[in-house]
């Protein structure tokens, strides 16, 4: 089968199976250091998704918090840890049941927006994404969630 080959990496993190079109947003959310070496593939053929985006970050292992942020906009993504050219760990990202400190509440009057209280949401639906603020009960859907990522 003919396929576009994206270079393998020696060491780092590969975020694979990102829904096509979300790759650049994922990259923005990761907020990686300016001198990072990053390979981005957009609209690559995928058996599972039809088309997908891929991000490869050389020399960086993503933290749990970063993985959680990705899950909110790219729930199909897999995170592969690469060492000595081999996949040494593969995790499916999953939207957690509770989200703490990643998203800002959309309600300007919410206590989390004027006091030192960490935003906290209960996930009431994963697909389509729907969150409910623990403090003011404001519900937020996917579009608002993406706009309010911290």
Q: By CB under 6 A, tell whether 8 contacts ligand CTP.
A: yes
Q: Is 38 in the site for ligand CTP (CB under 6 A)?
A: no
| Minimum distance, C-beta of residue 73 to ligand CTP, in the bound complex (Å) | 19
Q: What is the DSSP letter of 6?
A: P
- When asked if residue 9 is in the footprint of ligand CTP (CB under 6 A), the reply is yes
| Residue reference for tokens 């690469």 | 82
Are the C-beta atoms of residues 23 and 8 closer than 8 Å to each other?
no
For the chain, the 3-state helix, strand and coil shares in percent, each to the nearest 5, are: 20, 40, 45
In the set 3, 31, 34, 85, which binds ligand CTP (CB under 6 A)? 85
Q: Min. distance of Cβ 55 from ligand CTP in angstroms?
A: 10
Residue 9 is a binding residue for Zn ion (CB under 5 A): no
Task: List the x/- string, 115-144, binding to Zn ion by CB under 5 A.
Answer: ------------------x-xx-x------
**Residue 99 binds Zn ion (CB under 5 A):** no
Q: How far is the CB of 118 from ligand CTP (least distance, A)?
A: 33
Residue 121 burial (CB count, 10 A): 25
> What is the DSSP code string of 24-89?
HHHHHHHT--TT--EEEEEEEEETTTEEEEEEEEET-PPPHHHHHHHHHH-TT-EEEEEETTEEEE
Q: What residue ranges bind Zn ion (CB under 5 A)?
A: 105, 107, 110, 133, 135-136, 138
Kindly list the residues in this chain that would bind ligand CTP in the complex (CB under 6 A). 6, 8-9, 14, 16, 54, 56, 78, 80, 82, 85, 87, 90
């Amino acid at each position: 089968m003919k396929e576009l080959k994206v270079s393998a990496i020696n060491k780092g993190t590969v975020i694979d199976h990102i829904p096509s079109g979300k790759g650049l947003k994922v990259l923005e959310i990761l907020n990686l250091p300016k001198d990072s070496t990053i390979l981005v593939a957009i609209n690559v053929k995928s058996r599972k998704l039809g088309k997908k985006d891929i991000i490869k970050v050389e020399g960086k292992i993503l933290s749990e918090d970063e993985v959680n942020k990705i899950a909110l906009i790219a729930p199909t993504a897999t995170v592969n840890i690469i060492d000595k050219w081999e996949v040494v760990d593969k995790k499916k990202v999953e939207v957690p049941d509770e989200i703490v400190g990643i998203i800002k509440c959309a309600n300007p009057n919410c206590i989390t927006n004027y006091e030192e209280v960490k935003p906290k949401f209960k996930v009431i639906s994963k697909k389509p994404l729907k969150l409910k603020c623990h403090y003011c009960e404001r519900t937020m859907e996917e579009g608002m969630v993406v706009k309010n990522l911290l």
